[in-house]
Amino acid sequence: MLQSPRGRAGAAFLQLAIAARTMAGAPAVSLPELRSLLALGRARLIDVRSREEAAAGTIPGALNIPVSELESALQMEPAAFQALYSTQKPKLEDENLIFFCQMGKRGLQATQLAQGLGYTGARNYTGAYREWLQQEG
């Protein structure tokens, strides 16, 4: 069983860990955690950049839904979503529904929007495609 860090240093560490998981009120995912989730097949990635940006390169396995279309996409009937995006619509209870963009702003916006629609597992990849390209590209 993991033990909690103790003392001031431990408290500071816990505060940093919590801050890292939450960016402006939205649950976040770091690159190491994203790598792990992808390796386990436990993440559903949504690239909210424009179609042109995504066509130039994206994280393998990501579904591209531009942020301007996201609200209507997440409110579609499952059959309509399947027809338009050629994949199953995320469920409200899906864990690790991870949104990302180029640098972080649209990913955060998408995560907050999804949370507002009831997607409890919505998270923001704070490093965004920029970090992925630098580290994995």
Stated length of the chain = 137
Which of the residues 101, 108, 113, 114 is marked catalytic? 101
Nearest in space to 24 (alpha carbons), one of 97, 137, 128, 123 = 123
Per-residue b or e along 60-94, where b marks 16 or more CB atoms closer than 10 Å to that residue's CB: eebbbbbbeebeebbeeeeeebeeebeeebbeeee
Q: How many CB atoms lie within 10 A of CB 96?
A: 18
What single-letter DSSP state applies at residue 99? E
Note if 26 is an active site residue.
Answer: no
Catalytic residues: 101
